[in-house]
Structure 1
């Protein structure tokens, strides 16, 4: 399968990751770093506090069930040697812990703390202000990371100049890439979005493969990599 974009150890594939991942069987992936769609309930409940956007759907792409996500993670595990780190809907976390994807073991529940998270628009309850991070590792092999004994809590401001609705901050994704890989490793993102994980991989000296079902997002990610845009 030919990549949509490829330059200096970074490649983008346009398509459904469930179709693309089997074609990457010769690649020795050291880290899967990704952000799959959340549950239907979370997508439906997502809101913005911008007056001119409150009547519009905040998330326009399809949701995924915990079973569908586990299926993709199992595919990733077939050529993974190391960690799988994923932002996930908190509703999906317990499923991943009790029913780990084939070839993976659940290690830890991490948290992204958002100091500038969206306030509770209704004002009748506390806002959430965080996202879950699933930390898994391949069943075989010793676990190693570069974070020492630090907590699995990362505090980072949300991205203000986002080009994707659920875009994660580059500084946060860079931290995760640096902690769970080493320079020269290959990082895979089966839900690439606008390419933040690829940009982060490039910044920490890793190779990367991104897979994205939206051609528009593939082009956005390719432009970010071409132009060296630091967001």
Structure 2
């Protein structure tokens, strides 16, 4: 299986992660750090830019059920050495906690606090202002990380100049990558999007594999990786 991009320990594969993961020529991943699609209800509720009395959908790619997300996590767990950290729909979080994917144990419900989060368009209720981060670990292994007593709350501003609709801040992903890996570790992102996890891995001295279904984002990620290390 030929990668879409490969350089300096970073590889991109174009395809469905459910097909690609079993075919990867690696023994283990040290960390899975990813951001899968959210539920249909969340996607449908994300609207922007009023057009008269109508609003346009903000997210146009397909949603996933909690069971579908869990099935991908089970594929990852087969060769996972330690942590799986994922931004998730809070509805998916409930399933991951009550019924952890095979090979994984649920450790903590984390939070990304967004100080500049989108205000509530209707103005008739408080805005969300946060996203859930699922923190899981492979079964049977000792939990080790670099965050000490840090709470499972990470505060980071949303970026305005983004390639992907749900792109996470590079600063935030770099912090997560640094806290849950050692230099030289291998990070997997099965829902790569515009490549923020791979960009972060490169900047903190890790190897990485990203998988993305939409070829446009494979190219966008490759272009980001061709830049120098960002400090």
TM-score between both structures, scaled by the size of structure 2: 0.96
Counterparts of 1:151-162 in structure 2, within 5 Å, are 151-162=151-162
- Kept in 1, the 8 Å contact 2:184–2:205? The answer is yes
1:42 aligns with 2:42: yes
Deviations 1:137-172 (A, max 9, x none): 000210000000110000100011111100000000
CA distance in 2, matches of 1:8, 1:177: 17
Q: Match of 2:226, SS?
A: helix
CA distance in 2, matches of 1:57, 1:47: 5
Number of the residue aligned with 2:164: 164
CA distance in 2, matches of 1:15, 1:139: 28
- Kept in 2, the 8 Å contact 1:66–1:95? The answer is yes
Number of the residue aligned with 1:186: 186
Structure 2 stretches lacking a partner, 5+ long: none
- Kept in 1, the 8 Å contact 2:50–2:56? The answer is no
Counterparts of 1:95-106 in structure 2, within 5 Å, are 95-106=95-106
Q: Using the TM superposition, give the Cα deviation of residue 57 of structure 1 relative to its aligned residue in structure 2, in angstroms.
A: 1.7
Counterparts of 1:190-205 in structure 2, within 5 Å, are 190-205=190-205
Distance 1:230 1:41, change over 3 A: farther
CA distance in 1, matches of 2:30, 2:98: 24
- Kept in 1, the 8 Å contact 2:30–2:187? The answer is yes
The alignment of Structure 1 onto Structure 2 pairs a total of residues equal to 230
Moved more, 98-107 or 54-63: 54-63
- Kept in 1, the 8 Å contact 2:195–2:210? The answer is yes
Deviations 1:155-214 (A, max 9, x none): 100011111100000000000000001100000000000000000000100000000000
Number of the residue aligned with 1:93: 93
Q: Using the TM superposition, give the Cα deviation of residue 226 of structure 1 relative to its aligned residue in structure 2, in angstroms.
A: 1.0
Moved more, 221-230 or 70-79: 221-230
CA distance in 1, matches of 2:157, 2:107: 25
- Kept in 2, the 8 Å contact 1:32–1:83? The answer is yes
1:82 aligns with 2:115: no
Structure 1 stretches lacking a partner, 5+ long: none
CA distance in 1, matches of 2:225, 2:19: 24
Number of the residue aligned with 2:24: 24
How big is the alpha-carbon RMSD for the aligned residues of Structure 1 and Structure 2?
1.6
Q: Using the TM superposition, give the Cα deviation of residue 230 of structure 1 relative to its aligned residue in structure 2, in angstroms.
A: 5.1
Counterparts of 1:124-143 in structure 2, within 5 Å, are 124-143=124-143
Q: Using the TM superposition, give the Cα deviation of residue 47 of structure 1 relative to its aligned residue in structure 2, in angstroms.
A: 2.1
Moved over 6 A (4+): none
